[in-house]
Amino acid sequence: MGSPNDEPERDSDEGPQHRVTVRPFAIGRTEVRFVDYDRFAEATGREKPDDAGWGRGDRPVINVSWQDAREYAEWLSKQTGHSYRLPSEAEWEYAARAGTRTPFWTGKCVHTDQANYDGNYDYNDCGARTGVWRRRTAPVGSLPANPFGLHEVAGNVYEWAEDCWHDSYAGAPTDGSAWRESGGGDCAGRVVRGGGWINNPGRLRSAYCGWIAADVAYYDVGIRLARIF
């Protein structure tokens, strides 16, 4: 987990790189769609999140906070009898990498045919600068899946993880569980992973880690749920 010291555009909170044993879990093939989240909003009488004028349906739900995401997972668990939750940061990276050790699951570079990001920027002069920028989310499942069959794990929308944010992995759990204790971190801020449609390609790297206040919602942040067996 994490990035090697020589990975281009590496941030200090991506290390130290360390070995993690991940327990079996399931994770969504796609990000949660508006059509899924809207059922929850209607059933619970809460306001539906704004779609920024891009449409709802199969587009990934946006403008949802970490708290919203957890409440959706709890509601879905009650409706289905399965145990849904946000993935831990370790689980998310394991799923996104899909067995790869390169900056992206696509290799040392990424292309706008493979992910939704701002193609006006390059990554390490690898050819990621294509000039293509969609300026909005893409419908889930519309871009190629990684080797684990997961779509849009790089780009489209950031995805909430369960973990509190920490500025390094020193002392992080090694069993794949979420790092919930502050331990020098900030539990008012929660981890987001994957990068979004608004970002340069460097933020789509599998190891890239960001954070957002748990009660804040943005138009480039959504949800991918995990499930306990």
Angle between helices 66-80 and 34-44 (to 10 degrees): 80
**Per-residue confidence (pLDDT) for residue 182, from 0 to 100:** 65
| CA distance linking residue 82 with residue 74, whole number of Å | 10
Two structure tokens written together for 110: 């990424």
The whole-number pLDDT of residue 124 equals 98
Which residue type occupies 62?
I
> Token pair 């954070």 is at which residue?
211
* Residues of the chain where predicted confidence (pLDDT) is lower than 70: 182-183
Q: Classify the C-alpha dihedral 61-137-157-154 as positive or negative.
A: positive
In terms of C-beta density within 10 A (0-12 exposed, 13-18 middle, 19 or more buried), how is residue 104 classed?
buried
Predicted pLDDT at 229 = 83
Q: What is the pLDDT of residue 185?
A: 80
User: Which is it for the CA torsion 37, 222, 187, 88, positive or negative?
Assistant: positive
Is residue 66 helix, strand or coil?
A: helix
Regarding pTM above 0.95, the answer is yes
Report the CATH superfamily, name and number, of domain 1-12+24-229.
paralog of FGE (formylglycine-generating enzyme) (3.90.1580.10)
CA–chain centroid gap for 4, Å, is 20
12 three-state secondary structure: helix
Burial of 123 (0-12, 13-18, 19+ CB in 10 A): buried
- Cα angle value 212/146/102 (rounded, 5°): 75
Ranges of each domain in the chain: 1-12+24-229
- CA-atom Rg of the chain in angstroms: 16
Q: Looking at the DSSP assignment, which residues form a beta bridge with residue 221?
A: 158
Could you give the CA distance from residue 218 to residue 120 in angstroms, rounded to a whole number?
Answer: 22
